[in-house]
Amino acid sequence: MKRSLTYTFKCAVILLLTCNAAFAQVTLPAIFGDNMVLQRGIHVPVYGWAIAGEKVQVDFMGKTYSVTTSADGKWLVKLGKYKAGGPYEMHVKGSTTDFTYKNILIGEVWLASGQSNMEFGIQSEKHGADAISKATDNLIHVFYVPMALSLQPLYDIAKQAADSPNGKWLVCSPDVMANPKFAWHGITAVGYYFAQQIRKTTNAPVGLIGSYRGGTPAQAWITEDGLKESPAFTKYVDIHQKLVDNYDKAKAAYPQRMAIYQDSMKTWYTEVNNPYIEAVKKWEADAAQAKAANQPVPPRPQPSRRAPIYPTDPLGGYGSPTICYNGVIAPLAGYGIKGVIWYQGESNGDNLADAVEYKDLFPRMINNWRSKWGQGNFPFLFVQLPNFRQPAMTPSEGSWAWVREAQQKTLALPKTGMAVITDAGEFQDIHPTNKLVPGNRLALVARHDIYGEKVVSSGPVYKSMKVDGDKIIISFNEINKGLVAANLVGDDVVNADGQELKGFGIAGVDHVFVWAKAVIKGNTVVVSRDVIPNPQAVRYNWADNPPGNLYNKDGLPANPFRTDDWPAIIK
């Protein structure tokens, strides 16, 4: 399918005009600036644009680095490898340009990305008020990438208002963390708690870059060429191509569609919403009277029709393939980082087919980012999906368990790590307000896997199974001090040896799972059920909101698992 010539031409013109404006003088992307944190221990990349053939000079730490801009206007220098420290200054000079970046630190730079649970701001977090009041560590610097959508990779972040906290490096302080002009109630809470722990572990400055957007699937965070690498993702390539081909027509029609929508909403409020609100008020009064009289409560009224559907953006919206990578990751790719922390997968768990596909899509996305960054296999740490929705009725149900398995399988990639939080969700809220748990557990993984600290970073991980008559014996890795049944009370794990293990299901030759009896025996778990005399497989915490309570004695929950390889039944 041919790309829309009109759209491609317009993109080329816009890019040319943008670049020409930038190329008139030496320019660096917005991720470079006062208060920035540069990654220690690597040859720090510094790059930007200028007129072709322009000589660019960068002075840093007593040395001068020079480069001549290439024909496409781009330039890149690699500085030295540095130990943590600061503050420093960087001087950049061209034939008509001369400026200095100040208060530069060298330390650990982590990119926090994903969807809404990573976006969830510190100002709304359960412990946020206390965290904000104590946010006095000026060696933590934060940078929020304002959301942008694009069908093609953007070179830079759009210029922000002078009084905006977005798109610039800021020094952590109570005022900065409480700034109401941040997107969605402040900088990422998960990312901030992670950054605090990395500061303690490394005693180095930490730069936290936040680039995230709620409601986004993984295919929105990968490049077009990344999707093309797998035939399985042709459908996403086709969706992207269709958006490109139809962009001009969709953009031209959008104002009229929006006007129709707004008129329809006015009508809907008058004819449906307002009468519905009055009906609910009357129902509440009638229901109260019925309860007082010990009589049946009348059924709650429902709107007579749904609200009009908001017109789709010509770019396809936040969920369209490549749209988030192009808008808010491409402008960062190449900046020196230690690694990525990631919290996403909810949108890929909306249905079983998408959930099963995630095992291929997610690792593809990680490899895609690494290839675009050009810094090798940098660490990529992620949060496994929490418990959510109504408590499980059966030991094998829902779609989120398959996303969790996909996340587990992604650990086959080098330098990946996962934090399990199936004990830290809220069944009625897809956005758990306690972000200390995922933030601190991600930090445990980093401390152990990346920084070599002797800490326990994982709960029990399924190792093997053995059928013993009418029982199945499960063995684990990451037992550490031993297995225990436990309850999570508030923020503390309370050991409760002797409690019955929950969350285990067992199946026979019919592949139908039923709740099982499970008991700890030494470093194993023995699983059985009298109605399954010939057991074939065990699943643990295999549901959207599972009840499992298996931990190690270090207080970390067991990873969900299944011993079978039976395919998901996609209807």
Question: pLDDT (tens digit, 9 = 90+) per residue, 517-556?
Answer: 999 999 999 999 999 999 999 999 999 999 999 999 999 9
pLDDT at 9: 37
**Closest-CA residue to 209 (of 342, 367, 86):** 342
Percentage, residues of the chain above pLDDT 70: 94
pLDDT at 489: 47
pLDDT at 498: 56
Element (H, E) at 266: helix 234-268
**Closest-CA residue to 165 (of 333, 334, 33):** 33
pLDDT at 183: 83
pLDDT at 245: 96
User: Quick check: 254 pLDDT over 50?
Assistant: yes
pLDDT at 484: 93
17's CB contacts (< 8 A; 6+ apart) are none
Domain extents for the chain?
A: 13-223+322-450, 235-318, 461-562
Question: pLDDT (tens digit, 9 = 90+) per residue, 473-528?
Answer: 999 999 999 999 986 544 454 554 556 799 999 999 999 999 999 999 999 999 99
∠ CA 423-486-546, rounded to 5°: 40
Question: pLDDT (tens digit, 9 = 90+) per residue, 383-400?
Answer: 999 999 999 999 999 999
Q: Phi, psi at residue 30, to the nearest 5°?
A: -65, -20
**Closest-CA residue to 82 (of 133, 39, 136):** 39
Mean pLDDT of 241-255: 96
Question: pLDDT (tens digit, 9 = 90+) per residue, 13-47?
Answer: 444 444 444 457 999 999 999 999 999 999 999 99
**How many Å apart are CA 347 and CA 330, to the nearest integer?**
22
Question: How many CA atoms lie less than 13 Å away from 435 in the CB half-sphere?
Answer: 29
Q: Which CATH architecture has domain 13-223+322-450?
A: 3-Layer(aba) Sandwich (3.40)
Handedness of CA 66, 68, 70, 75 (dihedral sign): positive
Mean pLDDT of 328-353: 97
**Closest-CA residue to 27 (of 49, 59, 44):** 49
Mean pLDDT, the chain, whole residue set: 93
Is the pTM higher than 0.95?
no
